[in-house]
A and B are shown apart, each in its own frame.
Chain A
Amino acid sequence: MTTGEKSYPTTVAPIHAPRRTDWLLQRHRFFSVLGRILLYVLLISGALIFSAPLLWMISTSLKPEGLVSQYPIVWIPPEPKWSNFVTAWGKSSPSFTTFYYNTVYITVLNMIGLVFSSSLVAFGFARIRFWGRNIIFMVLLATMMLPGQVTLIPIYLFWAKLGLVNTFWPLIAPEWLTNAYNVFLLRQFFMSINMELDDAARIDGASWFRIYWNIIMPLSKPALGVIAIQAFAFNWNNYFGPLIYLSEPRKLTVAIALRLFSTEQSQHIPETMAMTLVATIPVLVVFYIAQAKFIQGIVVSGVKG
C-alpha cells in the first residue's frame, strides 16, 4: 500500500497540481504514522489485559499471605516465597504427586487411543468404498450436535452395572472408541492425499491395513500431532468426567484435586494459586512447544466450514 502511494506523486502529481498532492501526501503520511501508533497502543493494551490474569496468578503464587490484598498491586514480590509450592504440594493427602500420576496416566493412554482409533475410522471413511458409507458419515456428523448430557446418565449406569465406577475405565474406554470431531478432522486431511497412492499399492498387493500403516499414517504426521495435542488438552482439563466417575481420594485427577484444594484452603490464596499454576503448566508447555503445528491444525479444522 505504501509503495503504491510513493510512486504516485513522482509520475503524475508534479505535472498537474504539485502543491496540493504534496499536502495530501503529507497528510496521508501523518495519518498512517498516527494509525501505526494507535495500532500498537491497542495491541499492547489488549495483550496486557489478556496476560494480566496469568501474570497475577504467577505473582500471587510467590507472595506471602499479607501481600495479596495490598493496593496498589505488588506485581513482583520483594522476596519470592518459593516455599508456597512445596507446602501446597504436600498439604493434601495423598499429595499432588498421586494426582499428577493419575492425570498423566489417563492423558497419555487417551492420547494413544484416540490417535489410533480416529485414524483407523477416518481412513475407512476417506479411502475405502463401502456400502452406506455416506449415510453412516452423515450420522457421524449429526452426532456432533448432541450434547453429552443426554447420554450421560445411561452411560454412567452402564459403567455402574459393570462395577467400574471409581476406576479409570469410564474415562479411558470411550476415547479408545474415538469421537466424531476427530474422525471428521482426520478424514478431511486423509481425503487431501492423492488417491492414486492406494491404487498403486494395491496393484503391488498391499492390504488396506498396510496402506493405512505404511503410506497414509507417515504422510499425516502433522494432523496426527494436532489430534494428540488436542487430546492432551482435553483430557488434562477434563472436569465433568472425573467429577462423576471418581470419588476415592487416591484416584482423583489434578483438576478435581485442585478444586478440593481451593475449597479447603480458600484462606491460603498464594498456595491455591501455586497449585493452580502447577495444574496449568503442562498444558502451557505442551502448547508452547507444539505451537506452530497446533495453530496449523486449528486452521485446518476451521476452514472446513
Chain B
Amino acid sequence: MSIQTGVQLGGSVPRRRRISQRVIRDNIAGFLFITPWLLHFFLLIAFAMLYSFRISLMETDLLSSEKFVGLANYTRMWNDELFWKSLRVTGYYTFVLVPSGIVIALAIAVLMNQNVKLVGVWRMLFYLPSVVSGVAVAILWGYVLNPRFGLLNMGLKAIGIEGPRWLFSETWAVPGFILMGLWGAGGAMLLYLAGLQGIPTQLYEAAEIDGAGSWGRFRHITIPMLTPTIYFNVLINIIASFQVFTQSYVMTGGGPNNATLTQVLYLYRKGFQDFQFGYASALAWALFLVIMVFTVMVVRSSEGWVHYEGEVKK
C-alpha cells in the first residue's frame, strides 16, 4: 500500500513504466517457477496424448512395422469379446467397491466420532491397512483368500460356513478383490472423520430441540453435511477403481477363464506381452472414454445431492 502512495506522488509517466517493468519481471518469474510442470505437460502429457492417438490408428509393434489402419483398431475392439468382458469385470468391481467402500468408511468414522476413548489407537488400527498397498497386499491377500488354509475361509469355518474357492472360482474371484479393496477403506474413513468433526454442534442441538431422533439427525444433518466429502471420494475412487491392475496381475493373472481380466490388465497384455501397441493404445483411449463418461455423470448429478454449507450466499 505504501508503494502506491509513493508512486502516485511521483507522477504518471514514471509510474506506468515502473509498473510495466514489474509486470514483465513477474511474468518471467512466474513462468520460470512453473517450468517443471510445463515441461511435464508438453513432454509427458500433450505430446504423449497426441502420439498415443496416432498409434491407436496404426498396426505397430513399435520396432519393425508401422502401418496406418485408420479406425480398424477401434472396430476390432467393438467386436472383441474380451474387451467387453474386461469392461464388465472392471465395471462390476468398481460399482460394487465404490458404494460399499463409502458405506463402510462412513460407518467406521461415525462410530469413532462418538467420543470414544483412545481415538488415536482406533484410527491407526483402521487406517494402517490402507497404507500398505500394492504388491505386498496382493500377495498377502492371495493367501488370505486361499480356499484351504486362508485366513478368511478358516474364519468362516469357525462360524460354521464352508467358504467359496475365491480366486479359483469364476463367480467369487471379483468379490474376493472387492473384499481386499474394502480392507483399505481406512483412507477414506479419515476424510469422513475430519468432515464429521467440522460439523457445527449447534446444528445437532437445534435438531434435538425440534425433536429429531438420532436417526433423523444422522439422516438430515450428518449426511448432507458430509456430501462434499462423499462427492470427492466417489470421484477419486471411480477414477482409481477403473484403473485396477496390480491385484489381477499378481494374484490371478486375469483368470480363472478371464473372470478377473480388468481393462488395464488387458491393455498391458496386448501392449507389453503381445506387442500390439496400436491396439493397446486404442484400448487405453476406450478406458479414458469410459472413465470420462462416469466422471461427467457424477459431476452432473452432484448439483442434485451435494450440499455446500456456504452456498446460500452465492
Interface residues of A in 123-150 (CB under 8 A from B): 123-125, 128-131, 133, 136, 139-140, 143, 145-150
Interface residues of A in 28-44 (CB under 8 A from B): 39-40, 42-43
Minimal beta-carbon separation of B163 from chain A (angstroms):
12
B131 within 8 A of A: yes
- A151: which B residues are within 8 A, CB to CB? 44-45, 48-49, 52
- A183: which B residues are within 8 A, CB to CB? 37
B52 engages A174 (CB within 8 Å): no
Interface residues of B in 180-237 (CB under 8 A from A): 183, 186-187, 190-191, 194-195, 198, 228-229, 231-232
Per the bound structure, the CA–CA distance linking A57 and B43 in Å amounts to 42
Identify the closest chain B residue to A182 (Cβ).
Answer: B37
- A120: which B residues are within 8 A, CB to CB? 33-34, 36
B183 engages A145 (CB within 8 Å): no
A237 engages B30 (CB within 8 Å): no
B287 engages A147 (CB within 8 Å): yes
Identify the closest chain A residue to B288 (Cβ).
Answer: A150
What 1/0 mask marks residues of chain B from 108 to 145 whose CB sits below 8 Å from any chain A CB?
10011010100000111111110111111001111110
Per the bound structure, the CA–CA distance linking A133 and B27 in Å amounts to 10
Minimal beta-carbon separation of B244 from chain A (angstroms):
11
Identify the closest chain A residue to B55 (Cβ).
Answer: A153
Per the bound structure, the CA–CA distance linking A190 and B136 in Å amounts to 35
A128 engages B116 (CB within 8 Å): no
- A199: which B residues are within 8 A, CB to CB? 3
The verdict on A117 contacting B271 (CB below 8 Å), with A53-B144, A291-B124 known, is: no
Question: Given B49, B143, B187, B264, which contacts A273 in the complex, CB threshold below 8 Å?
Answer: B143
What 1/0 mask marks residues of chain A from 186 to 200 whose CB sits below 8 Å from any chain B CB?
000000000000010
- B154: which A residues are within 8 A, CB to CB? 71-73
B103 within 8 A of A: no
Interface size, B (range): 35 or more
Interface residues of A in 210-247 (CB under 8 A from B): 212, 233, 237-240, 243-244
B141 engages A239 (CB within 8 Å): no
Per the bound structure, the CA–CA distance linking A177 and B45 in Å amounts to 12
Minimal beta-carbon separation of A99 from chain B (angstroms):
12
Tell me whether chain B's interface is mostly helix, strand or loop, or mixed. helix
What 1/0 mask marks residues of chain B from 134 to 163 whose CB sits below 8 Å from any chain A CB?
111001111110001101001101100000
> Which of B3, B27, B44, B271 has the most chain A CB within a 10 Å cutoff?
B44
Per the bound structure, the CA–CA distance linking A117 and B30 in Å amounts to 14
What 1/0 mask marks residues of chain B from 226 to 267 whose CB sits below 8 Å from any chain A CB?
001101100000010011011001100000000000001001
A145 engages B284 (CB within 8 Å): no
Minimal beta-carbon separation of A72 from chain B (angstroms):
7
The verdict on A46 contacting B139 (CB below 8 Å), with A71-B157, A143-B45, A145-B239 known, is: no
Per the bound structure, the CA–CA distance linking A179 and B246 in Å amounts to 22
B288 engages A147 (CB within 8 Å): yes
Minimal beta-carbon separation of B102 from chain A (angstroms):
13
Minimal beta-carbon separation of B178 from chain A (angstroms):
15
B191 engages A125 (CB within 8 Å): no
- B44: which A residues are within 8 A, CB to CB? 151, 155, 174, 177
A298 within 8 A of B: yes
The verdict on A149 contacting B3 (CB below 8 Å), with A72-B154, A140-B37, A179-B40 known, is: no
Please list 30 pairs of residues, one from A and one from B, whose beta carbons are closer than 8 Å in the complex, sorted by A's number.
A39-B114, A39-B116, A53-B151, A57-B140, A71-B149, A72-B154, A124-B32, A129-B23, A129-B26, A145-B291, A147-B239, A149-B243, A150-B48, A150-B49, A151-B44, A153-B62, A153-B284, A155-B44, A174-B40, A174-B44, A208-B33, A233-B131, A237-B135, A255-B134, A259-B135, A273-B140, A276-B139, A283-B131, A298-B190, A302-B195
Interface residues of B (CB under 8 A from A): 2-3, 23, 26-27, 29-34, 36-37, 39-41, 43-45, 47-49, 51-52, 55, 62, 108, 111-112, 114, 116, 122-129, 131-136, 139-144, 148-149, 151, 154-155, 157-158, 183, 186-187, 190-191, 194-195, 198, 228-229, 231-232, 239, 242-243, 245-246, 249-250, 264, 267, 271-272, 277, 280-281, 284-285, 287-288, 291-292, 295
